[in-house]
């Protein structure tokens, strides 16, 4: 949505059914993308256990590079795994109480449509998220 004037505003009871369907679709799209990424990284990890010696290097420099690449892949996969968990939690919230979906967990105010459209798993409004980030510094 390019214009904030045209963005739907949550009502006292939350977002409309059309908006909820939109957020469900966004969450499912993100979930599908993350699962695809995790599958891609899973293929990298699997090369070690299938007996394929081409996954191993015999030169020490190559072994170091390979180990570093595997470590980066594991790190990325764990970050994607955490993101998948957040997406699943958002879907649970959406299905359990769609009338409360999009309400800030801190202050209880509605989260802006634009924020949820960009980050459909968001649990905090922008003000509460900013306070949380400022508190971590």
Percent of the chain whose predicted confidence (pLDDT) is above 70? 62
* 21-46 mean pLDDT: 80
- DSSP code per residue over 67-106: HHHHHHHHHHHHHHHHHHHHHHHHHHHHHH-TTTTTB-TT
pLDDT given at position 32: 93
Residue 101, Cβ density class (10 Å: 0-12 exposed, 13-18 middle, ≥19 buried): buried
Percent of the chain whose predicted confidence (pLDDT) is above 90? 45
List CB contacts of 136: < 8 A, sequence separation 6 or more: none
Domains of the chain: 17-136 (1.20.120.910)
pLDDT greater than 70 at residue 75:
no
pLDDT greater than 80 at residue 31:
yes
Please choose, from the candidates 113, 103, 120, 111, the residue with its C-alpha nearest in 3D space to the C-alpha of residue 5. 113
Across the chain, mean pLDDT equals 78
Q: pTM for the full model?
A: 0.65
Beta-carbon count within 10 A of 39 CB: 9
pLDDT given at position 60: 62
pLDDT greater than 60 at residue 43:
no
pLDDT given at position 11: 46
Residue that wins the pLDDT comparison between 51 and 65:
65
pLDDT given at position 57: 54
pLDDT given at position 4: 45
């Amino acid at each position: 949505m390019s214009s904030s004037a045209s963005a739907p505003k949550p009502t006292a009871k939350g977002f409309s059914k059309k908006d909820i369907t939109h957020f469900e679709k966004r969450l499912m799209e993100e979930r599908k993308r993350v699962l695809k990424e995790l599958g891609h990284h899973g293929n990298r990890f699997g090369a070690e256990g299938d007996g394929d010696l081409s996954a191993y290097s015999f030169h020490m420099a190559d072994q170091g590079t390979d180990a570093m690449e595997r470590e980066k892949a594991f790190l990325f996969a764990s970050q994607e795994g955490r993101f998948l968990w957040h997406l699943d939690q958002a879907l649970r919230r959406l299905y359990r109480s769609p009338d409360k979906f999009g309400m800030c967990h801190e202050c209880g105010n509605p989260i802006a449509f634009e924020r949820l459209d960009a980050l459909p798993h968001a649990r905090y409004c922008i003000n509460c998220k900013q306070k949380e980030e400022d508190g971590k510094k």
